[in-house]
Chains A and B, each alone.
Chain A
Amino acid sequence: MAQTPSIAEEKTSSAVSSSKSITLRIARFNPQKDSDTSFMEFKVPVEKWTTVLEAILDVKKHFDHSVAVRYSCRQATCGSCGMVINGKPRLACFTKISELNSDTVTVEPMHNFPIIRDLAVRFDRLFNSHHKVKPYLIRDDTDVSSDTKEILQSPEELEQFIQFSNCIKCGLCNSACPTMATDSSFVGPQALAQAYRYVADSRDKGKDNRLKIIDESHGIWRCHFAGSCSQVCPKGVDPAMGIQLLRGYMLGFRS
């Protein structure tokens, strides 16, 4: 019978049985005290299956509990632990140290997000942009009444947007985007992909409204199809595809 390790066992397993260790470099920055980012290095024991998040939590437990990191589900569902790992935005819980093929792992806060402290960043801008594109179904008959019926949808209609519903709002796409790197007003790939998600939904009637919202000088036209957002997305949302398909509506290629 397979044995399930207890939580206590799991917490200490890496320290007891590990045969390899790596250097974990963690960016430290407190906007209220520090003028610049510094890096602290820790020797962390790792196994083949150790994730970057587990290594950071190991540091918090055994070396320095003041390291600030946001995390929750540990299974790439909540979108909390996005950070720059060895130069690329990734989810810490979804990135195994063994797959990085490096004895040194550097973790930094996501770019294009204001730093709260160390690895934790503010999401205000992402959520504001997300909210701006009206991420909900817009219909004339939104009032739920007793005779409200199901709005039927065929599998083909569902396929049009289901991929984009997988967005967990981790912000990795916004962190990788080259436009976001310099443009403080850009809506960003996350919000634009969500705009497509609702525009492509056969139940939604808010297409014109949404297209108008993103048709501004820092809207959809500031995407240049570099595709970095899609390359870092941990859920296969492919924001670059959504944005181009959305732009297809505006250029008259889609109706």
Chain B
Amino acid sequence: MNPHDEHKEGIGGMANPGRYGIERIAYWLMRLTGLGLLGYFIAHIYETSNILRGQVGWDEFLDLTQTTEGHLFLTLVIGMCVFHTVNGIRVMLGHGGIGVGKPARPDYPYLPASQNSQHKIGIYSAIVLAAIAMVYGMAVMFGE
């Protein structure tokens, strides 16, 4: 099919969050962290199944993951998990119609009530909390 048939913006347009503010960046981060966490979850299930190989098998696998790279990866996972959780709660509340403003007669310059400071604070909080959790996670993993 000719790409002009539907003239869809495609993943490139979806992935270009700069034009639409922090809400669009949060949308994109939510997707990426979700996919990342699913990947980690599958890997974690495989990782823990090594316990069935006995102590030698478990220790062998642990040696592979308990490295500096492994800890850095886990730090990233912590960040993804915290962002996905906090932003997920914000999105869920929004989906229920909570904190999206009340319908009213719009006045120029027509600032959308749904794009309010509560949600912006929610997004920034998710980013800040993810950063704090990552620092804490690094302190725990590298501190031992």
Contacts and interface: CB of A to CB of B under 8 A. Distances in A.
Interface string B13-26: 11000011101101
A181 B16 CA distance: 11
23 contacts: A110-B7, A111-B7, A111-B9, A112-B8, A113-B7, A114-B7, A159-B103, A159-B104, A162-B103, A162-B105, A163-B106, A176-B20, A178-B24, A184-B8, A224-B91, A225-B95, A226-B23, A235-B110, A238-B106, A244-B114, A247-B96, A248-B97, A253-B98
Given A31-B4, A121-B7, A231 B95 contact: no
A191 B97 CA distance: 18
Given A224-B91, A253-B98, A180 B8 contact: yes
A240 B7 contact: no
B38 interface: no
Interface in A202-246: 224-228, 230-231, 233-238, 240-242, 244-245
B6 A112 contact: yes
B35 interface: no
A234 B110 contact: yes
A228 B4 contact: no
Interface of B: 2, 4-11, 13-14, 19-21, 23-24, 26-28, 30, 91, 94-98, 100-101, 103-108, 110-115, 119
Contact of A225 (B6, B10, B94, B105): B94
Nearest to B26: A226
8 tightest Cβ-Cβ pairs between the two chains A and B:
A236-B106, A248-B97, A236-B110, A230-B112, A226-B27, A181-B9, A241-B114, A111-B9
A238 B7 contact: no
B7 A115 contact: yes
A145 interface: no
A111 B27 CA distance: 19
Nearest to A254: B97
Contact of A238 (B97, B101, B119): B101
B96 A253 contact: yes
Contacts of A235: 106, 110
Given A31-B4, A159-B103, A159-B104, A244 B94 contact: yes
Given A225-B95, A238-B112, A245-B103, A181 B19 contact: no
Contacts of A59: none
A161 interface: yes
B114 A29 contact: no
B49 to A, nearest CB: 33
Interface of A: 29, 31, 37, 87-88, 109-115, 121, 159-164, 166, 175-176, 178, 180-182, 184, 200, 224-228, 230-231, 233-238, 240-242, 244-245, 247-248, 251, 253-254
Contact of A236 (B2, B30, B100, B112): B112
A159 B108 CA distance: 17
Contacts of B111: 236
B14 A231 contact: no
B34 to A, nearest CB: 11
B4 A238 contact: no
Contact of A182 (B14, B94, B96): B14
Given A29-B4, A184-B6, A251-B95, A241 B103 contact: yes
B94 to A, nearest CB: 5
Nearest to A175: B9
A231 B110 CA distance: 9
Contacts of A115: 4, 7
B53 to A, nearest CB: 41
